[in-house]
Amino acid sequence: MSSTSSHPESAFGTDPFLERGDDGRVLRRQLLGGSFRFESASARLLDLVDAAYAGLPQHKLPIIAPEFHVELRLVPPRRKPVSGEPPAVQMQSGADLLCGMMDASNYVVMSPAQGKALVVASEDMLDHPYHVRYELIEFAVFTLATRGLGLVPLHGACVGRNGRGLLLLGASGSGKSTLALHSLLCGLDFLAEDAVFVEPGSMLATGIANFLHVQAEALRFVDDAEARYWIGEAPVIRRRSGVEKHEADLRRGQGSIATAPLELAGAVFVSSEWGDDPEVLLERLPEADAVARLTLDQPYASGQPGWQAFQQRLATLGMYELRRGAHPRNSVDALLTLLR
């Protein structure tokens, strides 16, 4: 008489959780004030890490930084790969874990308390390198740094001069990327375009200055032929909103990347409205209005532990509204008045 064992090994083998993975290579990068250790047996996944983080300045903050560990695992292709754009990431939490999932073969699981993350991607998802890099790998890095270093995560850009920086805030389509581009071309230091992280105790801002995303129509304002070529020849990515932008690598183009965190000198809300007076584009907002607008503009950040301290200090530094001028250079000139 034969019997079938109900032990998990009979159905899943001796390593059902894939705990005995092959030894992989390790990459170490200093990012957002923290030390990150990336480990993977997949050279292609580590290539995406390099595409995102190789050649960046090593920012340090005046706080004790733990080492973060990100393991990247490549799994077999899905039986039925999704045609077109990959599924949007769905977020979940529980048992002190944070999760972001596209599907059963493409997801990230994070333990902020341990400073660890597991990024899993299927082989066919490597046909979508932007989504793997931006929505899985960078998502893990940003989340671990925010939670592990006590940073305030902001949706916005940051440029500066002589160690001082300005947050550029505002709704999508307001012109933040165009203003950041022209700030770079006019000689300001570029810190970040889309995500800025602030240590509230020191008001030092850090970011990942790897790519600049520019719509093709914005090139009409770029007078420098070399800069226009650099951006125009860059690959085109498609945002979840449907907007297509050139993804220009800042490490291969013009301008200066901020070599260290920038001490904030204030924040500027970029408006899509034209200024009534071309000579007066910048207006300081009353403190109460500015605080309310900041909270509305940053719904995720406003729920983080360091928000109150950050908000109060930023209000003291000053928050402004910047209307559009005839040319983006006029807006850059207005920013420079705050960085003297």
Q: Which CATH class is domain 153-336?
A: alpha beta
φ/ψ (deg, to 5) at 4: -105, 125
Give the DSSP H/E element, type plus range, for residue 319. Answer: strand 319-324
Buried b / exposed e along 168-198 (16+ C-beta atoms within 10 A): bbbeeebbbbbbbbbbbbbebbbbbbbbbbb
Q: pLDDT tens-digit profile of 126-172? A: 999 999 999 999 999 999 999 999 999 999 999 999 999 999 999 87
pLDDT score at 228? 93
Domain residue ranges of the chain, discontinuous segments joined by +: 21-77+84-149, 153-336
DSSP helix/strand/coil, 61: coil
* Rounded average pLDDT over 14-31: 82
Alpha-carbon Rg for the chain, nearest whole angstrom, is: 22
What average pLDDT does range 260-264 have in this prediction?
A: 98
Q: Could you tell me what percent of the chain has a pLDDT over 90? A: 78
Query: What's the average model confidence in pLDDT over 212-226?
Result: 91
Q: What is the mean pLDDT of residues 296-316?
A: 96
HSE-up (13 A, CA, CB side) for residue 166: 30
Within 8 A by CB and 6+ apart from 24, the residues are: 39, 40, 41, 42
| Residue with the larger pLDDT of the pair 210 and 12 | 210
In the predicted model, is pLDDT for residue 8 greater than 60?
no
Q: Is 178's pLDDT higher than 80?
A: yes
- Structure tokens belonging to residue 266: 């204030």
Lowest mean pLDDT among 89-93, 171-175, 240-244, 264-268: 171-175
| 5 pLDDT above the threshold of 70 | no
Q: Which of these, 123, 119, 147, lies nearest to 133 by C-alpha position?
A: 119
